Structure 1
Amino acid sequence: MSPRGVAIPDLRERLFTAAERVVAREGTSALTSRAVTTEAGVAKGALHAHFAGLDEFVGELILDRYARTARQAAELPSLVGRDTVAGNLLTVALALMTSVDPAVVALAMTRPAASLHTRQGLEAGAPGFSAIQDAVTAYLDAERRLGRLPAAADTATTALALVGTVHHLLMTHTMTRTPGGPEPREITERLVTLLVGAPPPHDAPAP
């Protein structure tokens, strides 16, 4: 436990990762401010000292993970002309798929204040799905200029289809998954194949 009054580097990230571990191990019902601070090994009041409450904390966790994936998507231009278009898109799509634990998303959806905080953050300009979609569109435009996509390719619609589908899977997988049904990764691979061609082998390592 960190001593009282001692600043903790990267406290937000420490609390966020602690919350993800609690949810993964014990389920959403176990996520309390006390559980998070205990898991993080920080003072009991640390969460409330930096967030208005658990709802704001959950909303900020989701915004942070979306922003992290948006930063990764922004690096797509560095991949132009390298590997395969499908492989590059799949890497970003899977990063988005795993950006937030679906159980945490499900938790936020059952807490209206947390969902509202996330929505307001995105509306205020926090990086989210729109930023990721724009980055994918810019990447596809560059690949089209190189001739690695057909000249008539509708890059904006392709990006919308990819990011929109991943968003849907992320929001609904925990609550509507059918036992024995296809996994989100499999669905994403099929979509990439449909949009731009064959993706890497199915057993390619996830990012």
Structure 2
Amino acid sequence: MTTAAALSSLARLRGVGVSFGDRVALTGVDLDVPGGTLTVVAGPNGAGKSTLLEVVAGVREPTSGTRTASTTIAFVPQRTSVPDGLPVTVRDVVTVGAWGRVGRWRPLDRRARAAVDEALERLHVADLAPRSFAALSGGQRQRALLAHGLARGADLLLLDEPTTGLDADSAQRIRTTLLDEAARGTGVLAVSHDPLLLDAAHLVVRLEGGRVVRGGAGDAEARCGTVAS
């Protein structure tokens, strides 16, 4: 079996630091995100996990160090960051993800429409497609947001606490989908406290006080297969 370390890196951080005024969020972080791998970033609250994800996504510039990525990226937020009154249907939410294939505001071609339908089916939300996104339960919302990310067809999928607060069935559906995406060759990077997702990860990176204390570049807790021993 090919080890995670042997896979190509889709995104790379070297010596990355992030500060917000006097507050230091990240310090000297090295990280490689390989393709075909589920990498989970763990650590206590305030450790800098979400900031790290934002840097990898390219939506936050590091204060120091370098970030490189030569791939398409889909960033799936926590469901709590989406306004409750967003006046769109579930299909609308997933369709926006598919714009990454054809360009913003352009009509979807047949391939993009098929990607939307496949994403809805894979996350078991196809029957909810005409419903208001705001009317969904927490688990349904998170599955719809993941379907949005899958519809983009990106090589690198980033998620912030994808299973937090969800019912058991929704959480398991998301864990299974993330492993399936990694098996397809997608690089998956998720911030999570979920012990089952941590057990399923191929790589685990632990942050404490803005520093990598286990995992990262050259010091990853690597796991071959889908479940750690």
TM-score normalised by the shorter chain: which range applies?
under 0.3
The structure whose RCO (Cα within 8 Å, separation 6+) is larger is 2
TM-score between both structures, scaled by the size of structure 1: 0.28
Q: Which has the higher strand share?
A: 2
Q: Which has the higher helix share?
A: 1
